[in-house]
Amino acid sequence: MTIFPRTLFSEEHELFRDQVRRFCEAEIAPHHSQWERDRRVPKAIWEKAGQHGMLCCWVPEVYGGPEAGILFDIIVGEELGRIGATGPSFPLHSGIVAPYLVDFGTESVKRRYLPGMVSGEKIAAIAMTEPGTGSDLAAIRTTAVETGDGWIINGQKTFITNGLNADVIVLACSTDRSLGSKGISLFVVDAGSKGFSRGRNLEKIGQHAQDTAELFFTDVFVPKENLLGDPGKGFIYMMKELAQERLITSVQCQARAEGAFETTVAYVKQRKAFGRSIFDFQNTRFKLAELKATLQAGRAYCDRLIELRLSGELDATQAAAGKLWHSEALGRIVDECVQLHGGYGYMTEYPIGRAYVDARIERIYAGTSEIMKEIIARSL
């Protein structure tokens, strides 16, 4: 479905999109149902994506990346969203975790981890949320205590995307409890570190192909060079990078909404009721017209947010507003699409049923809708 012409992308971008679309349709879509049953994607798919240049497209050449720009990573996210793929989580790996290493990592950390992240040999995760903190990042209780030649980390994280598959983890810790948010620091933890362990693959109501795990840290030692940036600056760094994380959520929500709409239009045109297609009923056409109008607004909004990111103007409030709008819109759109499917929309073998439960988390992760409203309200 064409919402309207987009001006963000060059011919090179569109050629890349065609390549990514073929990859998604050949390597992901046919296997996604099995991955949902397994509650995890195989690591091999990450390496295949790396071979096709689909990971960390923006990372500088000196660290093994193509240095092609964030738009290429956005295209990967859009094409995954178009087919409703919740796993593998390439966008988090490339657009959310990698920036922490590039922007704040030591030269040693960059050279040790980024080439493997580009190739897909190393899968990345970010661990902020804890059992008792939710969106309140300032309440982090996982601690990092400085020793002579590094740091000793103790604590627990939960709801960690890529948690079971991750080889490298960006971890938020408190290095000075008395300072609250000003005492938070970020570290890179190798999954092979002694004292690191993974808990269960959490049972979610949706996004079943995505491994989401608990992580445990018991006297885990990390060398000094694995500190990202300066101690005590972690909260500032997270606030800086969260704008891009929320933009990526907007991109995913818009793409998933468009995919759900396309699926629904195709379904109502072939499904018969009372001797004619469901599409021929005025109510169906009017509902679809409303959804298309919403999608047009969402596409224009999303592309404007991307433009702001490309020009370096995207701020926390703009990103929060976009994340709020797109995640809430996705929820409304897939709900209407389920209704247009009738009883079959409630069946998990139909893509729209899975899209419905998959969409619910978008209003929670990367900051809940309530937190987004609070951020926006502070700018008033």
> Smallest Cα–Cα separation from 253: which of 295, 286, 288?
295
Instruction: Enumerate the H helices of the chain as residue ranges.
Output: 11-23, 32-38, 44-51, 70-82, 90-91, 98-104, 107-119, 234-270, 282-310, 316-341, 351-359, 369-378
Distance between CA 247 and CA 368 in Å, rounded? 14
Distance between CA 77 and CA 70 in Å, rounded? 11
Q: Is 181 exposed, middle or buried (0-12, 13-18, 19+ CB in 10 A)?
A: middle
Distance between CA 343 and CA 248 in Å, rounded? 32
φ, ψ for residue 194, nearest 5 deg: -65, 135
Dihedral angle sign, alpha carbons of residues 35, 40, 41, 42: negative
Distance between CA 152 and CA 170 in Å, rounded? 15
Catalytic annotation, pick one of 78, 79, 214, 245: 245
Distance between CA 171 and CA 151 in Å, rounded? 12
φ, ψ for residue 70, nearest 5 deg: -65, -25
Q: Does the active-site annotation cover 107?
A: no
User: What is the SS3 assignment for 348?
Assistant: coil
Q: Is the peptide bond before 131 cis (omega within 30 degrees of 0)?
A: no
CA distances from 221 to 43, 152, 372 (A): 26, 5, 35
Calculate ∠ Cα 126-107-146, nearest 5°.
65
First to last CA, the chain: 37
Distance between CA 119 and CA 202 in Å, rounded? 27
Residue 376 near residue 324 (C-beta atoms within 8 A): yes
Helices (H) and strands (E) in the chain, counts: 12, 10
> Known catalytic residues?
245
